[in-house]
Structure 1
Amino acid sequence: MPRTLSSFSPFIVRALRRALLGAGLALLGATAQAGEIAVIVKTTNSSFWQNVNKGADAAIKETPGHTLTFAGPASESAVADQVNLVENAINRRVAGIVLAPSDPDALVPAIKRAWEARIPVVLIDSRVSDAGKTYYQSFLSTDNTAAGELCAKALIARIGTTGKVALMSYVAGAGSEADRVGGFKRYLQANSKLEIVGPYYSQSQMATAMNQTTDVLAAHRDLKGLFGANEPTAVGMGRALVQSGRAGQVVAIGFDGNQDLQKFVQDGTLEGIAVQSSFRMGYLGVKTVDELLQRKPVPKFRDTGVVWVNKTNLQSPEARAVLY
């Protein structure tokens, strides 16, 4: 007659339960070793995020047994659509998720679901709120606070400590926006008497940023400086400067490094750009998921760096490594 667990001594029962639990964990780990790694970004309609995809694709080629999917909503403000993409990835039991969260709070329930489903989540670019810290395993990003301070310092060096500066931002409350713009504003307030006009939120739409900048330039003829806080916003800002005839007259600082922004630096429309390593975010995001699936230790935070690029170092190896 078969014996039940209750017929053994308590010591043996505890040992058996530990062994069964260990076997279950090992089985789960083994089944997760190969499979889909889902990279979910804020939008696919941006060369910044396409460069993240290039990095992820390079990493997956070095990671046998895995496949890669890349997805994002139509715009960075379509937060509900991004939540649905994460939920769908969980439902199809992906091996791991690399996520650039569009909103620090709205994505927390979804990454909690992934955690409960034992699907590792690696965040890139933007953080989530403290309520979500337990549910992701690693965060790879520019130190956006320091990057915002870097831009503020460069602006003060060119225009001095008095006058007006317009702040052209993107999606209010996004993790990277809060840190980047917050760092910029705090540095200006602590180290100058510059008056900040704005912020204006483009929703990461180039055309919106262009229209907003055109209006700001018309309303503030005495404006001395501009800060465009992400790629589409900075591109729209640069185009508005050119069309208004104010390029080179108002000192403008941009963020990120696509072809349009490089051209603006070269021709003097922009004083300089702070460039993140978007390729590295995608590459390390996939690599970190793979390390987690192999049960290797990973850092909770990894700074992927930022490079200040202006006309003098635009062609340098350091700049070319991050420009796209």
Structure 2
Amino acid sequence: MNRFSLLAASVSASVLMCGSMSTNAYAAGGEIAVIVKTVNSNYWQNVQKGAKSALGDAKGYTMTFQGPAAESDITAEVNMVENAVNRHVAGIVLAPSDPDALVPAIKKAWEAHIPVVLIDSALSDAGKQYYQSFLSTDNEKAGELCAKALIDRVGQTGKIAVMSYVPGAGSEIGRVGGFRKYIAAHSKLQIVGPYYSQSQMATALNQTTDVLSANPDLKGVFGANEPTAIGMGRALKQTGKAGKLVAIGFDGNQDLQGFVRDGTIQGIAVQGSYQMGYKGIQTVVNVIEHKPAAKDIDTGVVMVDKQNLDSAEAKNVLY
């Protein structure tokens, strides 16, 4: 692309962001490629449900949904984005598994006039100009919420462990960072970890088992995403520690709801994953059709415990 057409692309993208009409930047209708971190998780399947539902209201569009077998397979996700660009899709809804590795692929979409809406995780600043909107949980705020829930139950002193997932993932940096900052500012609790499960439930189970055995005086533990929190819950049960120390998890599938109900986990911070899918499709269609789209959209988080597990607010986000 020469310098002039690059400039033109940049101008048309910024015009679109302001919600003004731009004559021919994007074509309405066609395939929307939804690319997530992995297809092997209820969380991302709930995103898919939301996206499918929104597609029903968007006439003339089809949707493809894909993601790598594992969240740590960043190269596979980059290839999926590049393939979508090569297919000249109408738009891309993307949950980037790495804040830097996906930037060149997103840039290719931008150069090809394909709008990109990010969900769940951010890109580094280098990628900011190449996407039109970002829908996510405020992960830092969510991490703080989990830290507060833990402090409320374990008190100000003692030892807690952090079971995390993929180091460097945008959501992980915000979530675990927010958690640790809040603990440091509001308590004298000592943190063991973080340990990284690579979003593998079996790894999280083994890591939590090891941490429990190495720290018999542990008062609390935080599992920072769905597979990690499930592994953590199973480890607590298998070691006979369920209910003996405070556990706070993240996300809200059936396993985690069961752990809250039986007291293995005291609270789970549940993201609006269905909303991410639903609003992700809605937003990319708005961009394609030259309607206003906010650059940042907070999809919210609900702290679910035994008391509100069956409430309407919790049912809206659990899956």
Distance 2:24 2:196 in 1: 48
Distance 1:139 1:27 in 2: 23
Query: Alpha-carbon deviations, 1:7-34, whole Å to 9, x = none?
Result: xxxxxxxxxxxxxxxxxx73453xx201
- For the residue of structure 2 that corresponds to 1:48, the secondary structure is helix
Who is 1:78 aligned against? 73
Distance 2:250 2:134 in 1: 20
Within the alignment, does 1:135 sit opposite 2:150 as a pair? no
Distance 2:289 2:184 in 1: 46
Which structure 2 residues correspond to residues 5-20 of structure 1 after superposition, within 5 A?
none
Query: Alpha-carbon deviations, 1:166-224, whole Å to 9, x = none?
Result: 00000001000000000000000111111100000000000000000000000000000
Q: For 2:216, give the aligned amino acid.
A: R
Distance 2:60 2:23 in 1: 18
Q: For 1:149, give the aligned amino acid.
A: E
Who is 1:149 aligned against? 144
Who is 1:272 aligned against? 267
Within the alignment, does 1:26 sit opposite 2:59 as a pair? no
Distance 2:245 2:79 in 1: 42
Could you state the TM-score of these two structures normalised by the residue count of structure 1?
0.91
How much has 1:152 moved relative to structure 2?
Answer: 0.2
Within the alignment, does 1:91 sit opposite 2:86 as a pair? yes
Which structure 2 residues correspond to residues 101-112 of structure 1 after superposition, within 5 A?
101-112=96-107
Distance 2:287 2:190 in 1: 47
How much has 1:297 moved relative to structure 2?
Answer: 1.5
Q: For 1:26, give the aligned amino acid.
A: T
Distance 2:65 2:169 in 1: 21
Which structure 2 residues correspond to residues 227-238 of structure 1 after superposition, within 5 A?
227-238=222-233
Within the alignment, does 1:193 sit opposite 2:188 as a pair? yes
Q: For 1:107, give the aligned amino acid.
A: L
Q: For 1:190, give the aligned amino acid.
A: A
Who is 1:46 aligned against? 41
Distance 1:123 1:294 in 2: 18
Q: Count matched residues.
A: 298
Who is 2:110 aligned against? 115
Query: Alpha-carbon deviations, 1:288-319, whole Å to 9, x = none?
Result: 01000111121110000000100000000000
Who is 1:68 aligned against? 63
Query: Alpha-carbon deviations, 1:81-112, whole Å to 9, x = none?
Result: 00000000000000000000000000001101
Percentage of identical aligned residues: 70
Q: For 1:35, give the aligned amino acid.
A: G
Unaligned runs of 5+ residues in structure 2 are 1-21
Considering only aligned residues, what root-mean-square deviation do their CA atoms show, in Å?
A: 0.7
Q: For 2:62, give the aligned amino acid.
A: T
Distance 2:193 2:154 in 1: 18
Using CA pairs under 8 Å that are at least 6 residues apart, name the structure with larger relative contact order, 1 or 2. Answer: 2
Q: For 1:284, give the aligned amino acid.
A: K
Task: Specify which of 240, 244, 262 is matched with residue 245 of structure 1.
Answer: 240
Distance 1:34 1:301 in 2: 24
- For the residue of structure 1 that corresponds to 2:276, the secondary structure is helix
Distance 2:75 2:245 in 1: 38
How much has 1:51 moved relative to structure 2?
Answer: 0.3
Could you state the TM-score of these two structures normalised by the residue count of structure 2?
0.93
Q: For 1:121, give the aligned amino acid.
A: V
Task: Specify which of 220, 229, 245 is matched with residue 215 of structure 2.
Answer: 220
Who is 1:9 aligned against? none
Distance 2:187 2:259 in 1: 26
Distance 1:203 1:61 in 2: 34
- For the residue of structure 1 that corresponds to 2:166, the secondary structure is coil
Q: For 2:28, give the aligned amino acid.
A: Q
Q: For 2:195, give the aligned amino acid.
A: Y
Distance 2:309 2:72 in 1: 31
Q: For 1:246, give the aligned amino acid.
A: K
- For the residue of structure 2 that corresponds to 1:167, the secondary structure is strand
Distance 1:285 1:306 in 2: 16
Q: Cα gap change, 1:171/1:95 in structure 2, threshold over 3 Å: closer, same or farther?
A: same
Who is 1:208 aligned against? 203
Distance 1:258 1:189 in 2: 30
Task: Specify which of 266, 284, 288 is matched with residue 283 of structure 2.
Answer: 288
